[in-house]
Structure 1
Amino acid sequence: MIPVPTPVHRLCVATAAQHYHEPVWLLYGILATEGTRPGQIVRDANGSYDMGPMGINSLWLPTLARLGITRAQILNSGCENVAVGAWILARKLRGHQMPQKAFAHPRVFWRHVGDYNSATPHWNHLYRQRVAQAARQRYFAPLEQVHGH
């Protein structure tokens, strides 16, 4: 039986952000940048693939399997996908999480955000710009824009 994908709920994002001491707007920025949904796979040029809303790369599967997390969970559970994405981001941000340390060294912080997607400088730079822009547009949008007043 093929599992039915479950959506990402705001509570999942808030819980993951709190657990890993990350700004919730950053997770929303990554979700918007990845632009995918539970159950979706996006093939990468290097032969790997990204899974679900946070774009969890298949290269993480062996590490996650050792932690008891399955491919099906990452692919089909929106909440599990966000939790795993937040865990990966926390590994990249080690020592630079919110609230007090994240912006003490903003260049380092944003480079680590880019590392979530790629350590290659060009792709890292493009990704972190897209995440920052998505966070500004989606999370920090004035209420007038969100509600049309």
Structure 2
Amino acid sequence: MPYLSPYTRNYISLDPEKLPLNVEFKSTAKEVIPKAYGVMFVNFDTQLNSLVLFDIKTKSGQPIPLGTEAFDQNGNLVGYIVQGGQLFASYLKQTTGKITLAWGEEKQSCTFDYKLDNSTDLNNNNVQSKQVQCQ
């Protein structure tokens, strides 16, 4: 960016609109204070995620409440239940694992195993769709 002002605060931001869906920025803006006639390297941390839409059915046939949190086997939040009992998980770190859903004051929960397709590549923009039963 050739138009930064030296020795003053400058703000740089990125527009991620045209990037693949599986690219996530930790921050899209940075503040820099460049020197005159200098060159600066500004790093924007990114993360590649696999994108999976789980269509979840329960053993009893009862829907899972909207907004229910979903956690992987390490306790990391991977997403929330949306309309229709679906989970859009974008933070899965492994191609196989277990997801636990927990909701309500009575601490209701259910768990399901997942295995992503072998064709899953974190460098693509495809969203996988999986039907699972939560027990």
Give the alignment's TM-score, normalised by structure 1: 0.26
Flag the structure with higher helix content: 1
Structure whose CA Rg is larger = 2
Flag the structure with higher strand content: 2
* Larger RCO (CA within 8 A; separation ≥ 6): 1
